[in-house]
Amino acid sequence: MRTGIFLAAGLFLMVFMAGSVYAADCGGMVQCNCGDTLTSSQTMWYDLINCQGNGLVIGADNITLNMNRHTITGSAVSLEDYYGIYADGHNYARILNGEIYNFLSGIRVYSGSNNQLTNIVANNNYEGILFESSSNNILTNIISNNNHDSIIFYDSSGNKLTNITSNDNSNGLKLSYFTNNQLTSITSNNNIQFGIFLYDSSDNIMTNIISNNNGDGIYIMSSSNNKAYLSSFIDNAQNAQSYDSISLWNSPSPVDYTYDNKIFTGYLGNYWSDYAGSDADGNGVGDTPYLIDSNNADNYPLMIPFENYFKPLVNLDSDNDGVPDKNDKCPNTILPEVFKKFKPNNYGDIDGDGVFETLNNKGKAIKDTLYSLTDTYGCSCKQILAFKPGKNQDKEKFGCEKETIKKFIKEKGWAKNLFKQTKI
Ligand SMILES: [Ca+2]
Ligand SMILES: [Ca+2]
Ligand SMILES: [Ca+2]
Ligand SMILES: [Ca+2]
């Protein structure tokens, strides 16, 4: 019995020593084993699988670990203090292109600044990525799914998080004492508690967030001066919750956007799936605020998810004459055309349908004829007359003669050089 206990203790010691005590230095061409300390940059050519303690420890400033699509895995997710990659007190580390599973934290950065994580997958850990007391770090293209907490920042400022996916965790992004950071293009879906949680945090800018969770989409607590706009909060149990906080829920200044194939400039807020207001003037912004609590409202709620507000225009026809801008040599066409005395055999678009009318010889029946504004490159009769040399006041009263329209279309006579001289 006693022997058994000693044996077990001995085994435990051996495992313990294998995991932690015999950590060696590695880097460059020297392959790392689980728990080793990286003292120089390396591009990995191997995986580290089933690490019993830490995966790798960053041991100096300015180290680049290019995981080169390799993987570091722990033995099991437990609450023991083991990290896939651990950087304590180091700056300017770059960790790139790898996957990390099965640790307490996939990556833990403590008291480090100006570090970069790029193209990292940190799934199936207790915490995907953890930054504490760390500033000016840049996280780009990160996937952190199926963890308990996807990404945690604590007591950190000046960080930039871009293209982050945080799905199927218990908690999405958990940000406390988090100041002056930028979050852009965050997808946080199907988490149990919340998509993004901000506590005692200020001056953060959050844009292009898509949040669709079983709990809160975004929960802001005891925080001030945060800005959340151009985001979509879709079918969360509660799309936004704010407690003891005042935030700005729209763009701080007007932005150019497109909606319904038209260009607008104005303030934009967020898309809320449970917004029930309407948009009578058709500018894509709801006419009544989306209320969050007595201190918070989105005064510019979007009618459809935010990404639709920046779509390129399809065959935009700014002057609405039926000729898309890309073919329209005459901007600002005014239709219908008004002539004081529209004459038989003269042409103009007097009903504004984009096809020129003329009168028959009896001066009565109006009929659409041979020519449309598509034929005239989007130019009305009056615009054509403006190009035509000489005095054309008469024609402005009567409409364009057939010859005038023909010459313009065929680029003949007086119209010959118009197009070449790029006067038009
Ligand atoms: Ca509106
Ligand atoms: Ca046009
Ligand atoms: Ca017409
Ligand atoms: Ca035109």
CATH number for position 286 = 2.160.20
Determine phi and psi for 161, rounding to 5 degrees: -115, 120
Q: Tell me, in angstroms, the distance from the centre of ligand 4 to residue 409's CA.
A: 14
Distance of CA 153 to the CA centre of its chain: 21
Q: Give the ligand at the shortest distance from the Cα of 289.
A: 1
Shared-domain flag, residues 305 and 329: no
Structural domain contains residue 316: no
Residue 15 has pLDDT above 50, yes or no: no
Structural domain contains residue 424: no
Using a CB cutoff of 5 Å, list residues around ligand 3, an ion: 349, 351, 353, 355, 357
Radius of gyration of the chain (CA): 33
Q: Tell me, in angstroms, the distance from the centre of ligand 4 to residue 319's CA.
A: 6
Shared-domain flag, residues 403 and 355: yes
Please answer whether residues 378 and 327 qualify as being in contact, where contact means their C-beta atoms are separated by less than 8 angstroms. Answer: yes
Q: Tell me, in angstroms, the distance from the centre of ligand 2 to residue 363's CA.
A: 30
Q: How many domains does the chain have?
A: 2
Structural domain boundaries, residue 77:
18-310
Q: Tell me, in angstroms, the distance from the centre of ligand 1 to residue 248's CA.
A: 19
Residue range 39-70, pLDDT digits in tens? 999 999 999 999 999 999 999 999 999 999 99
DSSP 202: B
The confidence band for 20, taking pLDDT boundaries of 50, 70 and 90, is: very low
Structural domain contains residue 351: yes
Q: Tell me, in angstroms, the distance from the centre of ligand 2 to residue 319's CA.
A: 5
Residue range 206-218, pLDDT digits in tens? 999 999 999 999 9
Residue 190 has pLDDT above 90, yes or no: yes
Shared-domain flag, residues 299 and 332: no
Side chain identity at residue 52, one-letter code: Q
Q: Give the ligand at the shortest distance from the Cα of 282.
A: 1
Shared-domain flag, residues 131 and 254: yes
Shared-domain flag, residues 56 and 187: yes
Shared-domain flag, residues 120 and 242: yes
Longest dimension (CA), the chain: 123
Q: Tell me, in angstroms, the distance from the centre of ligand 4 to residue 333's CA.
A: 4
Q: Tell me, in angstroms, the distance from the centre of ligand 3 to residue 355's CA.
A: 4
Structural domain contains residue 112: yes
Q: Tell me, in angstroms, the distance from the centre of ligand 1 to residue 284's CA.
A: 6
Shared-domain flag, residues 293 and 259: yes
Structural domain contains residue 164: yes
Shared-domain flag, residues 63 and 159: yes
Among candidate residues 284, 310, 336, the one where a domain is terminated: 310
Structural domain contains residue 218: yes
| CA pair distance 389, 395, nearest whole angstrom | 12
Shared-domain flag, residues 278 and 364: no
Among candidate residues 310, 335, 356, the one where a domain is terminated: 310
- Helix runs in 117-197, H state only: none
Structural domain contains residue 423: no
Among candidate residues 267, 284, 310, the one where a domain is terminated: 310
Structural domain contains residue 319: no
Give residues with Cβ within 8 angstroms of 74, minimum separation 6.
Answer: 50, 51, 52, 55, 82, 84, 101, 102, 103, 125
Strand 296-298 to 290-293 pairing: antiparallel
Residue range 116-164, pLDDT digits in tens? 999 999 999 999 999 999 999 999 999 999 999 999 999 999 999 999 9
Shared-domain flag, residues 336 and 231: no
Shared-domain flag, residues 240 and 131: yes
pLDDT at site 365: 64
Shared-domain flag, residues 231 and 262: yes
Q: Tell me, in angstroms, the distance from the centre of ligand 2 to residue 351's CA.
A: 16
Residue range 337-389, pLDDT digits in tens? 999 999 888 999 999 999 999 988 877 667 777 899 999 999 999 999 999 88
